[in-house]
Each structure stands twice: as structure tokens, then as C-alpha cells.
Structure 1
Amino acid sequence: MERLVDMQFTETVLKEILKRFKLTPDYQKLGDFENYVFEVYDQNHAPKILRVTHHSHRSKEELESELDWIQYLCNCGIKIPNVITSPVGNTVEAFEGNQSYFFASLFEKALGQPVKVDGPSFNEKLFYKWGKTIGRIHKYTKDYVRTPGIVQRAQWDENDLLDLDKYYTGEDALLLGKVNKVIENIKELPKERNSFGLIHTDIHHGNFFYDGEMIQVFDFDDASYQYFVSDIAIPLYYATNSKHFYGTREERNQFAKKFLHAFLDGYDEENHLTREWLTNLPLFLKLRDIDLYAVFNKKVVPEDRNERVLHWLKEIRERIENEVAIVDVSFT
């Protein structure tokens, strides 16, 4: 979280949020990268998830549109943590901080446990379930219609991170020609019902819990209108990068082949993307590099970058310069 926002999010604001949602004073902080996330407890001591968002990150209308889609997916029978409305029936409540505003929403807690890339469950069975879950979301999102009064979520290219002149500065500005080439190539792709719609956009293994049989996806904060193939590229990118963070390209390619085989078996059971669309995977792997490079420049000041972040940034920069994706993908 940016330091200025951190200074504005006081204990007084958090206490007021807990009080308005009729939660106990107890909480556990789970994260604070783009949103503040807490495990909190209702009056029966049942755990819930509280998310607090600064107004500089999302507007109230943007948050309400995300939560409208979550409620739709739950009504379709997709097993994801649903939204819990406030005592007065709102999905989003506003709170005034020190010269700024915060928005709070409450969710069910996902069932299952976090997945570890070095754990026994990080295998083909999980990859298959992962793909099946995303395919099911894509199948139902084709018929999503916003509730009256709900604004439309942003298009993928309206992402703040693609305000490239802001995040690619100094020596990084030399990358802009190659970065813009990737973005323009994606913009040229056709937007069709069976390949483009409202998607999660960030279903890596840190954004779901798994009980050995079922995946429950959460953190829909980055949901936008994007190509379905992006929701395949993101799991592939993060699974490969996490499993072989310091690995060779050959190690990554071998893992990617195994991952995609199982993942697409699951995906195809719920939704079908043509081979033509799947051949666009490298474009979206490159887009994730572009986005992440901007994220690090936005969120992590140079003096706070540890060895892992520096290694990641170095690899991303080299890939952008060489115009290659994190892995080689072939469907021939």
C-alpha cells in the first residue's frame, strides 16, 4: 500500500467500519497490497472477510459493479464467497478518513486452504480443477446482465497500469516501443461473445482456496472486460513463475506443458476456446509482464525492493527487451 494511504487508514477508521457492519472488535490483518484485507468475526464469532479500499484505487460505483457480478455468479451456482450486505442492505459502505475516503465490503470466507507451490496438492489434479473453475465462470459470464443502476466494469485497456508514461520513466522509457507493440496487437483482436467478456483477470494460486476437490476463487477486484484467453495466461504465468522462480527456461517450458495439458482438459469440460484463440497466449503472457513491471514501479519504491523483487524486475525487463513471453507455448 502506498505510504500516504497507509497514514490515512487509522485505527479509528477501522473501528468505525467494524461497528457499522456489527462485527466484533477482533480482527486479523491478511494483506495490504492494493486493498486492506482482514479476517473479522460476526456476533456469533463466525469468520468473515473484510476488504477496505481507498478511493484512489476504486470508486464506490466500480466496487458495486464488481460485487454485482459476484452475486450473479453465485446465483448461477458457482462456488465462490458471496457478498454479505451491511445491516442497511449495502454491498459497499463509505467511511471518511484523514482527507480521504475508504470503502468497505464484507464477504463470506472461502472454504479450503491456501495452495503452496512446493506442497503435495500442487499437481495435475489441481491444474485440472483450476481450469474447470475458470471455464465455468466464462460459460456463465457470457449471459451476465448488470442490475439496473450498476455501472459497467472497465475495459482491459482502461487499466491505470497502462498509463505507461507514468510507470515507464527514465531508462524504462526505452521499453515503451516494444510495450506498445504488444498492446496494439491485443487491441486488434476481435471482441466476440465466445472469446471476450467480464472476467476475473487474476486467478493465480494466491487468489483461491482448495480443499482437495473444489476451488473457491476470491479477490475479484481487478475484474474487467477482457479476452477469455487472458484468464488462462494468468494462471500459467504465475504457476510457472512461482514453481521455477530461479529456474531455467527449459525447466519452465517443461512445467508449462504439463500445466496447460491438465488445465485445458478441465477448462474444455465447461467452455471451449478455439486453437486459434489459444495461440494468442504468448501475447497475454507478455501483457502480464508489462502490467507487473508497472505495478512494481507504482507500489514498491526502489529502497524497498528486496532481492526477489529485483530479480523479478530484471527478468521482466529482459523479456520485454527481447520480445519473448515467460514460456514458449505451442499448439502445433
Structure 2
Amino acid sequence: MITHDHLALLARPYGLGPDGLEFVRSNQNHVYLGRRGDRKCILRVSTGRHRSGEQVQAELAWIEFLAAEGVRVCRPIPALNGDICVALNTAGTDCIVTCFEHAPGRKIMQGDIAPPIYEKLGGVLAELHRHTLRLPADHAARARPHWHESRLLREDVAELRGRLSPAFVESLADLMEKLRELPVTPETYGLVHADACLGNCFVDDGQLWIFDFDNCEHGHLTQDFATILYDSIYCRVLNQFADDGLNDRIAPLWAALWRGYAQGGPLAAMDAMQLKHFFLLREAVIYIHYHRTLDMAAVGDSFQAGLEVMRRNVEAQTHQVDFDRLAALSCTAI
């Protein structure tokens, strides 16, 4: 949390006051809900842990590009002086402050978890991928890093040495090496959202809006599918642990996702091994994030048991998800 006085300094360039801001969450950023005039807005404070001013400006440039193409994204709101984002120092901490439009509609609820919402999400992903492959070569958004340069996979792992098992670190390095051997082609590689999931979407009058592009990076388009599969399908239908019916619950949601994507997305098929490796990379990132942000001595036994499953999955590079079945569905769901 940010103190009241510091929040006042950070919000002032946008004409916002701390008393009119509602705390939303603190994860990689501090996020607040506010109001500009009669419209809701989001104030985001990045403390510079893994984002430079240039990278934030590149993120905002991509959002503006997508908005201009008609994609339902939340555009940045300039500061009162016209700056797209503001760099400030409070109490010795460098901060980058941005303000965004608030998405219309509502959060995705558990009752929405059915094929129709995934078909809509597939359509949004198709729009993102189609437009990213048309991004001009000199566009400001290209200043975003590549996937393998992520702090989550480099500095965070180095800082957690001694808390991550040697086998986990070795397997993560092996996964990254395998994925870096994939061909980088203009048909399958470009800016990806890198955190595409239902948690970063609102639904409004039957249409999905997508936001939170803070992790966007240059990567393989399959990465966005792996993130959705992990965050918005696997974790949504998982019981406490994987059971015999897990893949039967996953299949119709995945088929709907691909059906929505196939209406205009540039990928024509899904490679099972590539999907598996990016899925395991996502699981590794989540595992690392938990170890960086949580007091492992204070979490419950069931959470610890879940972490052990994640660790073993990454170390052995195996998983309970049937990736061959999903790849086959990608060929038949059109």
C-alpha cells in the first residue's frame, strides 16, 4: 500500500485526489479506482521493479494502436499537462504513474464459465494477434522486451536461489532453451498480451473488453493460448488436484476458445509440444511469483501441496493436461 500523502503526490498530475481513490490491488503494480468527471478511471503506480519509462510508453503505444484498430481495450488517459505517463520519486522510490479508462460492463463471474465466454475470448485474441502482426516496423510499441528477457525468468530466479530447488531451476533453463530454438517468423511472432485471461476482461452487452497490458512482450502467439489455458481454463475447472475428469472438463472450453479464434486469428493450428512447453513455463512463472510474494511458512497445507505438484510438473516437464487432445481439437473446432 502507498501512504495517503504519497498517493496525493502521485495522483495530482491527473487531477485526482487520494480521498477519491479506492484501492484495488497491489501485485506488480499498485492499482486504484478513481473518477475523472462522470467517468471511472484506473490509476496505476509502477514502482520500477521491472518496468522502465520507455517500456511503459511502449505498452501505452500498443494499446493506442489497438484502440485505433477498433479493439475493445482501455485507452490511457493523459496527465493534465498532456504527458502519457508521469515519472515521480516519492520517499526515495522511483514511480511511473499511468491512468486508464475503466472498462465498461462487469467482471467475469463463475456463472459465466461455459463455452460461449471462451468463444468470445478467442475472438478477442484473434483481434490482438491479427493486428500485432501488422504493427509497423518503426512503431513505438516495438520497444517492449522479448519474452526471454522477462525479469520473471531472469532476476527473480536469481534472487530466489536457495529457495527454488536446483532441479526446478535446471528444468526451467532447459524449457527456455527449447523454446528459444523455435523459429521466429513474422507469421507467428509479435507482441503478445502475455497475461491474457478472463481475469483481465470485462463483459459488456455480450462483448469482451481486455485490459492490463503491463506484461506485454514480443513472443510466440502460442504463449497467449498457453496463458489462457493455464489461468482461465485449467485453474478454473481444476478441483483441489487433477482428477480423471479434468481433461473432459477442459476440452469443450478449449474447443470454444479455438472456434472463436479461428474466425480471424492468424494461427491455423496448434502444436501440442509447443503448447505444453509454454504452459509449463507459465506454471513455472506462477510458482516463482508465489515464492517471491508469499511467506511460504504461513501458507496452509493444501496450498503447500499444490505448490509441490507445480514444482514436480516443471521439474519433470510433464503435466496432467492432455496437450495432444487439445491440439487435435484445434484442427476440428472450426
SS at match of 1:250: coil
SS at match of 1:270: coil
Match of 1:30 in 2: 24
Give the deviation of 1:100 after TM superposition.
1.3
Query: Structure 1 residues 19, 311: CA separation in 2 closer, same or farther (over 3 Å shift)?
Result: same
Amino acid in the other structure paired with 1:268: A
Report the more deviating stretch, 252-261 or 221-230: 252-261
Give the deviation of 1:271 after TM superposition.
1.0
Verify the 8 A CA contact 1:132 1:269 in the aligned structure 2.
yes
Verify the 8 A CA contact 2:200 2:212 in the aligned structure 1.
yes
SS at match of 2:31: strand
Whether 1:207 and 2:200 are equivalent positions in the alignment is yes
Aligned equivalents of 2:63 and 2:234: distance in 1? Answer: 28
Matches of residues 161-200 of structure 1 in structure 2 within 5 Å? 161-163=152-154, 164-170=157-163, 172-200=165-193
Verify the 8 A CA contact 1:156 1:226 in the aligned structure 2.
yes
Aligned equivalents of 2:255 and 2:46: distance in 1? Answer: 37
Whether 1:155 and 2:146 are equivalent positions in the alignment is yes
List per-residue Cα deviations over 1:196-222 (Å, max 9, x = no partner): 100101111211111351111111000
Report the more deviating stretch, 140-149 or 47-56: 140-149
Amino acid in the other structure paired with 2:134: D
Give the deviation of 1:322 after TM superposition.
2.8
SS at match of 1:258: helix
Q: How many residues align?
A: 322
SS at match of 2:107: coil
Match of 2:6 in 1: 13
Match of 2:289 in 1: 295
Aligned equivalents of 1:132 and 1:15: distance in 2? Answer: 40
Match of 1:233 in 2: 226
Whether 1:314 and 2:318 are equivalent positions in the alignment is no
Verify the 8 A CA contact 1:233 1:281 in the aligned structure 2.
yes
Aligned equivalents of 2:316 and 2:139: distance in 1? Answer: 47
Amino acid in the other structure paired with 1:142: L
Give the deviation of 1:97 after TM superposition.
1.1
Query: Structure 1 residues 15, 309: CA separation in 2 closer, same or farther (over 3 Å shift)?
Result: farther
List per-residue Cα deviations over 1:255-298 (Å, max 9, x = no partner): 22111110000001121313354552111111101111111122
Match of 2:332 in 1: none
User: Equivalent of 1:51, from 29, 32, 44?
Assistant: 44
Verify the 8 A CA contact 1:244 1:251 in the aligned structure 2.
no
Aligned equivalents of 1:21 and 1:307: distance in 2? Answer: 44
Whether 1:259 and 2:253 are equivalent positions in the alignment is yes
Whether 1:137 and 2:128 are equivalent positions in the alignment is yes
SS at match of 2:245: helix
SS at match of 1:280: helix
Report the more deviating stretch, 67-76 or 277-286: 277-286
Whether 1:86 and 2:86 are equivalent positions in the alignment is no
Verify the 8 A CA contact 1:175 1:320 in the aligned structure 2.
yes
Query: Structure 1 residues 319, 278: CA separation in 2 closer, same or farther (over 3 Å shift)?
Result: closer
Whether 1:123 and 2:121 are equivalent positions in the alignment is no
Aligned equivalents of 2:58 and 2:108: distance in 1? Answer: 28
Match of 1:250 in 2: 244
Verify the 8 A CA contact 1:196 1:225 in the aligned structure 2.
yes
Where does structure 2 lack aligned partners over 5 or more consecutive residues? 329-334
* TM-score, with length taken from structure 1: 0.90
SS at match of 1:192: coil
Give the deviation of 1:147 after TM superposition.
6.7
Aligned equivalents of 2:165 and 2:54: distance in 1? Answer: 34
Give the deviation of 1:171 after TM superposition.
5.8
SS at match of 1:84: coil
Match of 1:3 in 2: none
Verify the 8 A CA contact 1:61 1:151 in the aligned structure 2.
no
* TM-score, with length taken from structure 2: 0.90
